[in-house]
Amino acid sequence: MKEIKLKIVTPEKILYEGMVEAVSFPTTEGEITVLPHHIPIISAVKAGELKIKKGGKDEFFHVTKGVLEVDGQMMTLLTDAAERSEAIDEKRAQEAYERAKQIMTEKRTDIESYAEATAQLERALSRLKVVRRRRGGRASFNQES
């Protein structure tokens, strides 16, 4: 079985380092999957779900914006923040989602606050998707306004 080394690095620590079969991650152009011996690339990563395939099983992470470099033998993801699906508190993520929705409705005239609320909403949605996928459920969200 072919593998490639993956390292996920945040400003605080190396969150993950190991051999993997494949990695799928969100970019500004769509999702990319990298396999062993992939051509060298450097790609911007946007907030979302990162999926690692190792030993025939999938492992999920939530990542924020960053950069992924692939040299064919190794992948290095430098990201502002990342967390394993097991570390995400679903209740807190749902509360963050609700707060961000509330801010978006209250701050419609303040472009800067609205943009920040939009970013918070995207992070919360991504975290909820990752944690709900881990437990085997579908990523459905409470859409009440």
Residues 109-116 have a mean pLDDT of 67
pLDDT at 19 over 80: yes
Q: Is residue 116 part of a domain?
A: yes
Q: Is residue 112 part of a domain?
A: yes
| Greater model confidence, 70 or 132 | 70
Structurally, the chain folds into a number of domains equal to 2
In this prediction, residue 144 carries a pLDDT of 38
Q: Name the pairing type of β-strands 82-84 and 57-63.
A: antiparallel
Statement to judge: residues 51 and 98 lie in one domain: no
pLDDT at 23 over 90: yes
Statement to judge: residues 10 and 55 lie in one domain: yes
The CATH number of whichever domain residue 17 belongs to comes to 2.60.15.10
Domain that holds residue 127: 88-134
22 sits in which H/E element: strand 22-27
Q: Is residue 59 part of a domain?
A: yes
Letter string b/e over residues 22-60, b meaning 16 or more CB atoms within 10 A of that residue's CB: bbbbbeeeeebebebebeeeebebbbbbbbbbeeeeebb
Query: Is this prediction's pTM over 0.75?
Result: no
Q: Is residue 124 part of a domain?
A: yes
What is the largest distance, in Å, between two alpha-carbon atoms of the chain? 55
